[in-house]
Amino acid sequence: MLPLLLAAAFPVAAEMPVLEDLHLPVVPRTADEAARIARVTAAPTDFTAPERFEAKPGGAATVRRRSSADAFSQPSANIGFDGELDFKIGNGLFKKLWVSSPSSTLASDGLGPVFNARSCQRCHLKDGRGHPPEGPDDNRVSMFLRLSVPFDQTDMTEVEAYLATLGGALARPEPTYGGQLQDVAVLGHAAEGQMQITYEEVPVALSGGEEASLRRPTYSVTDLGYGPMADDVMLSPRVAPTMLGLGLIEAIPTADILAHADPDDADGDGISGRAQVVWSQEYDAPMLGRFGWKAGNPTVREQSAGAFAGDIGISNPLHPLPGGDCTEAQTTCLAGPHGDGDARGAEIDAEGLDLVTFYSRNLALPERVALDDPEVLRGKRVFHETGCASCHVPKFVTHRLADESAQSFQLIWPHSDFLLHDMGEGLADNRPEGLATGREWRTAPLWGIGLTEQVNGHTYFLHDGRARSLLEAVLWHGGEAQPARDRVVEMPPEDRAALIRYLESL
């Protein structure tokens, strides 16, 4: 029994736990290494030339830039021959189209019964960014709705009670439809429903007589297949994020991320990043959340396992229920045929999950170009002077790892602090997740963002793709980022254009 359960009403939040990197074979840094890292990750003061190593956002794992849609699909440059073989097998599993049970293809059955996509690649097309539907004939395969209802403190699990003591405004899955809306089903089963989006255009006046227009979305669900939803259901739209650099993010020391946290804004700069704390299913302990739009998962393996279960309906060692996200109210789903009846023990076994995880960890960052372009350098200066780097922290150095993996001891440039920030009412989904409130989001990494159109054929950004350009994404920033956003609105048009040019160079 967790000691914190004694405080049933949680009148005082518990202290933040010590969060360890349980998933990594860490070699402790020496004092000399720590000093070198402090120097190399310090903020720049000279914007007349690129910084050393800036062209390699993934360190030694960075690959040469491709001009095709495959720019995000290359293995880490330092992966080695054996690693390339595992990467290719993992890629095959990432692309595999799952089929419904029963099937003669025992290694590929178990889809659904309700699901959002038949493969990982269908959501993360070319390992890149998803998008909202562009019209009635465009599918929604790379976007879905998270579902939850307000948290009831009665009948809490120990984990829920523990997170509640840390100050989390917890929520639970919708009783009938579970944690997300699955809009597709296998033959003989009903899809859960269909996401509907309407937009309202909101004009924004900019300096120099320029104008932008933001589209404000409203979400609803139609064609419910299993009866009404709870009246107090909370809907949170999510597009599939890019897969770039996940293993490098995973290898950043927790302590280095927490060093940027300032939950009480002690320094008075208006930025109060908070750590997301999640309960690791794999390690049965609290860990720092790093992955997902609200940092809801601590490791690439747990993120991958959750996506297999929730998005495709595929059971795995961390999510063994064969019905995926089906609830007790969906009796036909639970009683349907599943693909875990052979020697695998799950619809994807531990070996398969590990290979997909390895693939996801080792998708490489393309090298940057045009770093010495005068407009890019000007935009970099504007980025720092405007305050963007307060949350979009440019540089980290990863742990030195005993397994000497491709992620070991690399200077990387993700442009994120991986903390939760209040982004204002405009971006609020009003749905809490763990310690994140309905107004908080994890700072999105910016690396590779300028290649979105090349890889995915669109320029939709933010958690629900509402922004149709990088400028629109900036203009949606509120809350802690409101002052920086207002500076962008008011700055000379030439500086604003340079800022966007810098983002496009990342």
The 10s digit of each residue's pLDDT in 343-397 is 567 999 999 999 999 999 999 999 999 999 999 999 999 999 999 999 999 999 9
Percent above pLDDT 70 for the chain: 95
pTM score, whole prediction: 0.95
Higher pLDDT, 102 or 117: 117
Q: How far apart are CA 175 and CA 328, in angstroms?
A: 8
Average pLDDT, the chain: 93
Burial 4-42, CB ≥16 within 10 A → b, else e: beeeeebeeeeebeebebbbbebeebeeeeeeebeeebe
Q: Are 506 and 447 in contact (CB under 8 A)?
A: yes
Long-range contacts of the stretch 155-163 (C-beta < 8 A, 24+): 158/1, 158/2, 158/5, 159/279, 161/2, 161/4, 161/5, 162/2, 162/4, 162/5, 162/279, 162/286, 163/277, 163/278, 163/279, 163/434, 163/435
Residues 6+ apart with CB under 8 A from 412: 57, 58, 59, 245, 248, 252, 365, 395, 396, 397, 398
Across the range 208-216, mean pLDDT stands at 98
Higher pLDDT, 307 or 8: 307
The tokens for 297 are 């998962």
160 pLDDT more than 90: no
The SS3 call for residue 285 is strand
The 10s digit of each residue's pLDDT in 268-302 is 999 999 999 999 999 999 999 999 999 999 999 99
The tokens for 117 are 């996509």
Across the range 212-238, mean pLDDT stands at 97
| pLDDT at position 269 | 92
The DSSP call for residue 409 is: T
| pLDDT at position 474 | 98
Following CA atoms 447, 441, 480, 398 in sequence, which dihedral angle do they give, to the nearest 10 degrees? -40
Residue 337: count other Cβ atoms within 10 Å of its Cβ.
Answer: 15
6 pLDDT more than 50: no
Across the range 20-36, mean pLDDT stands at 97
Q: How far apart are CA 50 and CA 375, in angstroms?
A: 12
Using only the alpha carbons of the chain, give its radius of gyration: 22
| pLDDT at position 140 | 85
The 10s digit of each residue's pLDDT in 77-99 is 999 999 999 999 999 999 999 99
Confidence of residue 123 (pLDDT cuts 50, 70, 90): very high
Confidence of residue 157 (pLDDT cuts 50, 70, 90): confident
Q: How far apart are CA 39 and CA 143, in angstroms?
A: 41
Higher pLDDT, 465 or 167: 465
| pLDDT at position 341 | 66
Q: How far apart are CA 141 and CA 191, in angstroms?
A: 13
The 10s digit of each residue's pLDDT in 7-18 is 443 444 567 788
Count of positions (residues) in the chain:
506
Across the range 323-351, mean pLDDT stands at 85
At CA 35, angle to CA 29 and CA 37, rounded to 5? 75
410 pLDDT more than 50: yes
